[in-house]
Amino acid sequence: MSTYTPGQPVTAVVQRIEIHKLRQGDNLILGFSIGGGIDQDPGQNPFSGDKTDKGIYVTRITPGGPAHEAGLRMGDKIMQVNGWDMTMVTHDQARKTLTKKNEDTVRLLVTRKSLEDAVKNSMGSYPRQ
Partner 1 sequence: MDTESTYSGYSYYSGRSRGSHRHGERSRDRHKPRSKDSRSEKSVTINTPPAEPLLGDSVVRGEQVQDDNWGETTTAVTGTSEHSLSQEDIVRITKDLEDSVGLDCRRYFTLTLAVILGLLVFLTPLAFLLLPHLLWPEKLQSCGTACEGLFISVAFKLLILLLAVWALFFRPPRAGLPRVFVFRALLAVLVLLFVVSYWLFYGVRILDSQDENYQGIVQYAVSLVDALLFIHYLAIVLLELRQLQPCFSVCVTRSTDGEMRHYNLGQLSIQRAALAILEHYYCDFPVHNPALLSASKSRAAKHLAGLKVYNVDGPGNNAAAGLAHSQSRAMIAAAARRRDTSHNELYYEEAEHERRVRKRKARLVVAVEEAFTHIKRMQEEEQKKAPGDVMDPREAAQAIFPSMARALQKYLRTTKQQHCHSMESIQQHLAFCITNNMTPKAFLESYLAPGPTLQYSRDHWLARQWTLISEASVTSGLKDGSIFVLKCADFSLVVTTKKIPYIQMSEEYIDPKSHKFVLRLQSETSV
Residue 72 CB, shortest distance to partner 1, in Å, is 11
- Do the Cβ atoms of 78 and 34 come closer than 8 Å? yes
Nearer to partner 1 by Cβ, of 13 and 74: the residue is 74
The reply on whether position 90 binds partner 1 by CB under 8 A is: no
Rg (CA), the chain: 15
Exposed / middle / buried, residue 45 (Cβ in 10 Å: 0-12, 13-18, 19+): buried
Binding-residue pattern over the window 44 to 83 for partner 1, x denoting contact by CB under 8 A: xx-------------xx-----------------------
> Nearest Cα to 73, choosing from 101, 103, 112?
112
Provide, rounded to whole angstroms, the least separation between the CB of residue 40 and partner 1: 5
Show the site string, 18-47: x = touches partner 1 by CB under 8 A, - = not: -----------xx-xxxxx--xxx-xxx--
By the 8 A CB rule, do 79 and 86 touch? yes
Residues with Cβ < 8 Å from 99, sequence gap 6 or more? 28, 30
Site for partner 1 in 94-113 (CB under 8 A): 95, 98-99
List of residues contacting partner 1 (CB under 8 A): 29-30, 32-36, 39-41, 43-45, 59-60, 91, 95, 98-99
